Structure 1
């Protein structure tokens, strides 16, 4: 991130819509580049998925979610209310167009294309997060201890197949025996027989504090944050205006849409029909300290356990049900029995009532790639659709969109992330 020599308003005024981690990082980069940035959100700083995520900088996740292995699981997605991947039956037909595109992205050539674009973002993501946290004097919020994917009783052949798959994709990974796993993390269950150790992965003990640190630096540089609902975007020649809270008009030279799962109707106003769905992600935040030094994901149980400053976060279930349906508490509660099995000495006497249930919305596109870049409307840009990797990709996305807006050569080829790919 260039420190810049411009005065804060040399490049004109910029409106950013959405104060999740992607919007916050982008607002800071743009303010630092020389724009006078106004950031709007209908709630507070990081009120959604950015504060409730698993805190995992998941650079090992190079494979798109559209995996042919999911096909045989589809009936169970509709039947099992507590399964790790669920579609609410009443929402199935609304989500069907999204899933048709999802199926298309299971084709081998599409999976290869999408995986390479995911990997390109992943390779830059931790470096850029280190840069932004250093600028915010908050380096302690990023821990680079790697992460574990543990197996319980799977055949060595199956474990080695997973290991080779990651190796062939260029991921730094080591295959560990159960004994070696417990040498790294002694509190883990004796039933764990193998693990993949992703050595170049990070986590944060508090994803919300990362958002606060970035917001504080943004405001210290002169950036403005306001809680306001943006209802309408109006392109007026060289000017861009928004209507906030129904009738108040705010104008600027440029606009960036980073509203996460709520971006779809605003993008539609710009002429873009984006197949964005909200994945409803759950966590159960427990007060017990996990005695772990890194995140632990379970291959068999489909959850991730992350040690955090205020306890232990259990996360991992996915539900398709839209933005309006209420939380399903059982989808958070079902995580605790799995945590008890993996960390019996930590959670043996724990109850769900000890913890805090949470649900947030991940903005997901059927090819597992975000949209970052220009729209068909001059001076209006987008950066949303980061699915499970919003925290991971936030800083590199901020760098890329800033380079795009400044008309500079971008760090990555932006074609895979173009909003025009859905035209």
Structure 2
């Protein structure tokens, strides 16, 4: 195809490079939009469609206050009791224990002071840009009404005031915007909360979405409007004969073979086998996260997490979401009803009037898979073995929070630009 310039001379039109994104969750969708905005022709492939996994049922919290890696030495004395409790906030299914051991060895290594400090700084570098990035993207996509920036609460029930103060100072020293409240001040913010709450930490510079599933669909709609293509199919293998050349060959379960100039793996907890095909054995583990979506609509105006109970309540447009717990059991084990239902008594304890006549069976049980790395950092950027392959996965508990900023950074790198945040700490070969 040719175009005519101002002098009447024909000029060849630049053909857009084709990019295929694997994964239509929040990370893949935001990346698809940013790549379209950068001038690529993009298609997104997902075996189940838009937001079918963790992006549908997460807690909806833009959690930029979470600056501390999950590998925390204070967990060590608590782990035996937590792991033995089938309904506790942290559990490994017995049959999965041996398989999870290598990941936990790396996890323990990341508890070292120097590693923990390094990883915390890398988390903060992404967090500090996250709210601005998701706000800009939502405005661009015309769905800013789905974002609310009323902060969030971490509440304490009868916890010794010295421990509350220590936790408060821990966040402040890490640069998190936070206020310490007594029980009365907590209930002035959220009158429906229980009188058992004695203190709270009010994180003032965070937010949430009233519906993460609808947010994803709003992004998908904009992606298509920009010329992007959504394909429901499953990637089976990546053609190794093409990886060193200009095109990537993608073999789908349907039998179709697609070609792309560049490939972005953004398939969350399912990314590990694709990375392995490309020469990287990443220590990616699946955290099974549960929620119980209750139809009752609370009067809460912000997410409320419990320090003692280790779960979170998020007010949403369709009701009240009770979320939390970490379970290691792989991608194939079925949902365990009791692990979703155990969230209900905690929700009722904090919102006694809302749930006074309710039961766990009134809610919708859900299980999703968080893609977690032992250092709590995502895998971002180019593949060291193949110049036309890139990664954006392993966002652990912060997929929603980091989605827009990681999309922007990866799109910058794929465009040949210097990313706004140095991606060295997130490179895929850091585990070699």
Task: Give the superposition deviation at 1:11.
Answer: 3.4
Q: Residue 224 of structure 1 aligns with which residue?
A: 229
Query: How many residues end up aligned between the 2 structures?
Result: 417
Equivalent-residue separation in structure 1 for 2:283 and 2:318 (angstroms): 37
Q: Residue 5 of structure 2 aligns with which residue?
A: none
Q: Residue 254 of structure 1 aligns with which residue?
A: 262
Q: Note the alpha carbon deviations across 1:271-312, whole angstroms, 9 max, x for none.
A: 000000000000000000111000000000001000000000
Q: Residue 209 of structure 1 aligns with which residue?
A: 214
User: TM-score, with normalisation over the residues of structure 2?
Assistant: 0.95
- Unaligned runs of at least 5 residues, structure 1: 1-6
Task: Give the superposition deviation at 1:9.
Answer: 7.4
Task: Note if contact 1:19-1:46 (Cα within 8 Å) is conserved in structure 2.
Answer: yes
Of 52, 59, 66, the residue aligned with 2:64 is 59
Task: Give the superposition deviation at 1:45.
Answer: 0.2
Q: Which segment drifts farther, 353-362 or 74-83?
A: 74-83
Of 376, 382, 393, the residue aligned with 2:391 is 382
Task: Note if contact 1:10-1:34 (Cα within 8 Å) is conserved in structure 2.
Answer: no
Q: Residue 139 of structure 2 aligns with which residue?
A: 134
Q: Residue 24 of structure 2 aligns with which residue?
A: 19
Rg comparison, structure with higher value:
2
Secondary structure of the structure 2 residue equivalent to 1:200: coil
Could you say if the C-alpha distance between residues 373 and 400 of structure 1 is closer, same or farther in structure 2, counting changes exceeding 3 Å?
Answer: same
Alignment of 1:288-299 (within 5 A): 288-299=296-307
Alignment of 1:351-390 (within 5 A): 351-375=359-383, 376-390=385-399
Q: Residue 241 of structure 1 aligns with which residue?
A: 249
Equivalent-residue separation in structure 2 for 1:283 and 1:8 (angstroms): 50
Q: Note the alpha carbon deviations across 1:51-88, whole angstroms, 9 max, x for none.
A: 10000000000000000111122222431110001111
Q: Residue 316 of structure 1 aligns with which residue?
A: 324
Could you say if the C-alpha distance between residues 382 and 61 of structure 1 is closer, same or farther in structure 2, counting changes exceeding 3 Å?
Answer: same
Task: Give the superposition deviation at 1:241.
Answer: 1.0
Q: Which runs of 4+ in 1 moved over 6 A?
A: none
Secondary structure of the structure 1 residue equivalent to 2:287: strand
Q: Residue 100 of structure 2 aligns with which residue?
A: 95
Equivalent-residue separation in structure 2 for 1:9 and 1:334 (angstroms): 57
Equivalent-residue separation in structure 2 for 1:22 and 1:8 (angstroms): 31
Verify: 1:411 aligned to 2:420, yes or no. yes
User: TM-score, with normalisation over the residues of structure 1?
Assistant: 0.97
Q: Residue 403 of structure 2 aligns with which residue?
A: 394
Question: CA RMSD, aligned part only?
Answer: 1.2
Secondary structure of the structure 2 residue equivalent to 1:126: helix
Secondary structure of the structure 2 residue equivalent to 1:65: coil
Secondary structure of the structure 2 residue equivalent to 1:317: strand
Task: Note if contact 1:145-1:293 (Cα within 8 Å) is conserved in structure 2.
Answer: yes
Task: Give the superposition deviation at 1:10.
Answer: 4.1
